[in-house]
Structure 1
């Protein structure tokens, strides 16, 4: 990954309860790590010879937005202009399922327009990611 020219962000619905915000960010981050394993650094050892697993090698800001804006942003990400971006989404449907099998079965019967997105992770060329998310504030 070219850190000079690429950027990753996570955007969450700021109006969700804190636990759902945390859960959304964690799920997006895990999936992002699966899709970009090269972004995770090697394990490290501290001064006392204790091992610590590698973490991501660059910052991933967590931004806040509204459900409506996240939905609009997700729609834009389907456009040809943004197809090269890596996009991870997490929706109400996914959050409400107890098993992955339940999730996959329900998704096959749900139109995209019916999904309420709790969050998105976007990774790709810095200019395109910033064009889409540069006006969003940090979640604090």
Structure 2
């Protein structure tokens, strides 16, 4: 990867590819980083089933901390994938739902989640075999 490429992708995100032949993924990486991170995928999968309150999301997504869930839904909201609605009650109720753009991702994200479930045992066995053959390797 060239120094120029790193500089371009490290800059504030522009969603249109820059079109330069030596780094055609400019703009794409930023979006894929968001929709491809593990917490975003799990939030999108959960919200594909309908609107959820914060605690419902947190209970449904094993291992996510309150802070990480807050950051994830804020980032997804910023990207226009999740809509946050605050209801004027005491205490205030907040729910999250997918926007039309977010909903358009669900078939892709669910397919990835389904694939992961279907192949997790095969991948676990492959990892065990690799680790047995390469005991000094620190890739984990």
- TM-score band, normalised by the shorter chain? under 0.3
Query: TM-score, normalised to structure 2's length?
Result: 0.23
- Bigger proportion of residues as helix: 2
Whose Rg is larger? 2
- Flag the structure with more relative contact order, 1 or 2, with Cα contacts below 8 A and sequence separation at least 6: 1
- Bigger proportion of residues as strand: 1
Query: TM-score, normalised to structure 1's length?
Result: 0.23
